[in-house]
Amino acid sequence: MPSGASNGGRSAARGGGAGGAVAGPPGPLWIAALPKAEVHLHLEGCVPPSIVGPAGTGRVGVDPAGADPDAPPAFGDLADFLEYLDRSCALVTHGDQVERIAYAICERARDSGVGHADVIFNPEHWPAWQRDLGGFVARLDAGLAAGGQDHGVTTGLCLSLTRTQPPSASTELVDWLLHARPPRVVALSVDGNEAAAGRTGGRFRPLFERARQAGLHTCAHAGESSGPDGVRDAVELLGAERIDHGIRAVEDPALVADLAARGIPLDVCPTSNVRLGVVPSMAAHPIERLRAAGVPVSVNTDDPLLFGTSVAAEYGTCAATFGWGETTLTRIARTSIESSFADPDRRRDLLQALDDYAGAAGPR
């Protein structure tokens, strides 16, 4: 739990008044102490921007002496953003850096009340490690284990393929994963630019099938740079348990109804969608329409250090934008835990913690 929020942040969050129903939107301390999971978080988005520096970000005209070296860069669109990831992750060449990045994920999770995080990593972004993926995952595991121990956070890794990579490269990664089977890796995923790749569900389908047969979970980016067809393909062809983003499903009412009826969760990243121009503004974000239509949605950061956000900040932004109160935020947190790839005991414990917290919060 976040420091200073051990009472659930209730009195401080709402300016006093112990117990009973309290009017007004949930405060930041209440939000930060709400037990939750983060299920859409990229390792690549956890590399501090200072590793690249102002010149590398293209932030011309900025005085490096006066600028915050870790200020989030500005991005044009997803393609621009993905190129940036290639540049920044290429600078991570030492195991100590990898461990530090992993450890810090657990620190930030604790600060946002995140008890479990599923962390996506895409080997294609990390050239220094492509011939030593086992070493890379071992360093990630060490950092996540130490951070988890110190901050009470559990984590799983999702190995991600790239939509635009040659089929032989995707196959090689799945071969490696199923042969090495590092215990920290719990899922196969696919990310990258669907607008550039076109429809690739059929191509990735056999790889997802192999991963499922081997007992791995599956999730897929879709409905960010692709429209509703991408979401359908992720569900029907890849058998994804969870859709990363998925927000453009909103363009197809039949698909929305289907996702709701089948209870297929979307792990939504509101600030990311605004920053990458997927939606024009937070007010126009479809998460509220999807939620109101009965689609299970969770709220996540995608790439927190690059979009200057945190899980707690995302909950706060949604609460302020859509008028979400405690009941809705608690529902979102429940979906985040239920849709996580935490092991069943951990999920049960986190759901219990959430019930205890919500129950102690008084009438809503």
Which amino acids are annotated catalytic? 224
Judge contact between 272 and 243, C-beta under 8 A. Answer: no
Q: Residue with CB nearest ligand ADE? A: 191
Does 191 engage in binding with ligand ADE (CB under 6 A)? yes
| Residue 10 tokens, joined | 């209730």
Residue 99 or 191: the one with the smaller Cβ distance to ligand ADE is 191
- Tell the smallest beta-carbon distance from residue 282 to Zn ion (Å): 18
What residues from 293 to 312 belong to the interface with ligand ADE (CB under 6 A)?
Answer: 302-303
**Which of ligand ADE, Zn ion, none binds 224 (CB below 5-8 Å, type-dependent)?**
ligand ADE
> CA-based angle 360:361:364, to the nearest 5?
135
Q: Residue type at 302?
A: D
Judge contact between 64 and 40, C-beta under 8 A. Answer: no
Judged by CB under 6 A, the number of residues near ligand ADE is 11
CA dihedral defined by 346, 351, 354, 359, rounded to 10 degrees? -140
How many residues in the chain?
A: 364
Binds Zn ion by CB under 5 A, chosen from 44, 302, 314, 338: 302
Binds ligand ADE by CB under 6 A, chosen from 9, 32, 44, 148: 44
Burial 33-44 (b: 16+ CB within 10 A, else e): bbbbbbbbbbbb
What residues from 78 to 137 belong to the interface with ligand ADE (CB under 6 A)?
Answer: 78
Helices (H), the chain: 10-13, 28-33, 53-57, 78-90, 95-111, 133-151, 167-180, 194-197, 201-213, 228-236, 253-262, 270-275, 287-292, 304-307, 311-322, 326-338, 344-360
- Tell the smallest beta-carbon distance from residue 69 to ligand ADE (Å): 21
Does 38 engage in binding with Zn ion (CB under 5 A)? no
What residues from 197 to 216 belong to the interface with ligand ADE (CB under 6 A)?
Answer: none
Does 221 engage in binding with ligand ADE (CB under 6 A)? yes
**Which of Zn ion, ligand ADE, none binds 44 (CB below 5-8 Å, type-dependent)?**
ligand ADE
Phi then psi for residue 242, to 5 deg, are -145, 140
Interface with ligand ADE (CB under 6 A): 42, 44-45, 78, 191-192, 221, 224, 272, 302-303
List residues binding Zn ion (CB under 5 A): 302
